Amino acid sequence: MPTVTTYLLRFRGPLHVAERGVGIEETAEFVHSDTLFSALCSVVRLGWGESELQRFLAPFRAGEPSFLFSSAFPFAGSVRFLPKPQLALPSPPPDDARKRLRQTRWVSLGLFQAWLSGELPGDAFAPAAFLPPVAAWLLPSERRALPRSFTRDGIPLWVRDVVPRVAIDRVTNASQVFRSGRLRFGPDCGLFVLVEWRDASWRPLVEAALAELGQLGLGGLRSTGHGQFSLEPGEEIDVPEREQAPGLVTLSLYAPTRSELAAGVLGPFARFDLALRGGWIASPDGASYRRRELRMVSEGSVVARPPGTTVLGQLVDVTPEVMRTVHPVYRYGYAFTVPVDLKE
């Protein structure tokens, strides 16, 4: 049974995670797994050198990743939130809950596990089980575990807002007003990431690099203090074996290999969305260039696991032609999955 470690990212200020939109006005409310892996590689190169980065990347390039990342999702107190899985509910919801369900983006870990097991409790659709300001759904029993700042004073768990800023032209001193989006967390809230260790010898380096990333900052607008966090290792979780499951829910972005596609991971039983991934290269050798774009299966999707097939994904080369002679650029597309039964 694989062991998964939870890491909490407690942000000391706002966070900006670029999203497609106008300028930098948009920000996501979670961090995709490929963004987290790229930031980790950047820190390894900065702190441990180019040769250690190449040693770090070797198992991923060979198709035998030393660990698997989930994306970084919100937590509030002891309640962890995961993306709403694209699964049918175990039983039809009452009519008064249908609108709330359509507006739900996040489900708590307890509700996620109950959903996948096909045994939602009777009070799961009660109005008190929904948190409309953050589009979340949780078990009524978990609501009592939310931070006291929320339950007593109504302070939001997390909120996205837009703030005005000013840029000054260095030559003409002309000013230009623009707006940037940011994500702010309430007390005892932040993001968490799940790591499944396939080669635990890499754990000390990864934890040291994540702690250093917290000092340098994650995401955009780091020059203005965004994205700094304290790293806190959380509990160890045993997760069920995936090899016996006919279906898998993705908790990371997933770039299937050709053989996985040929085997039917995205066949009739799969329910998935695609996320377009692009953006600028975060490297001192090519920061002014854009990665080649690609689409990956997004978090919360359900993919099939045909018998005899290992659903793992791959590291995708997205090096722009102009950087072919400098160094390769990769997108992390390995899948962090949870087993689930699939029904017609």
pTM of the model: 0.91
Looking at per-residue confidence, does 131 or 176 come out higher?
131
Is the pLDDT confidence value at 34 over 90?
Answer: yes
Give me the percent of the chain exceeding a pLDDT of 70: 94
Does the pLDDT at position 344 exceed 60?
A: no
Query: What backbone torsions phi and psi does residue 221 show, to the nearest 5 degrees?
Result: 60, 30
Instruction: Mark 105-121 as b/e (b = at least 16 C-beta within 10 Å).
Output: ebbbbbbbebbbeeebe
CA-closest candidate to residue 340, choices 312, 301, 310: 301
Model confidence band, residue 221 (pLDDT cutoffs 50, 70, 90): confident
What's the whole-number average pLDDT of the chain? Answer: 89
d(CA 159, CA 162): 10
With a CB cutoff of 8 Å and minimum separation 6, the contacts of 205 are 44, 48, 52, 56
Q: Answer whether residue 16 shows pLDDT above 80.
A: yes
Q: What is the pLDDT of residues 76-91, one digit of tens each?
A: 999 999 999 999 998 8
Q: Are 20 and 26 in contact (CB under 8 A)?
A: yes
6-10, 41-45, 137-141, 216-220: segment of lowest average pLDDT: 216-220
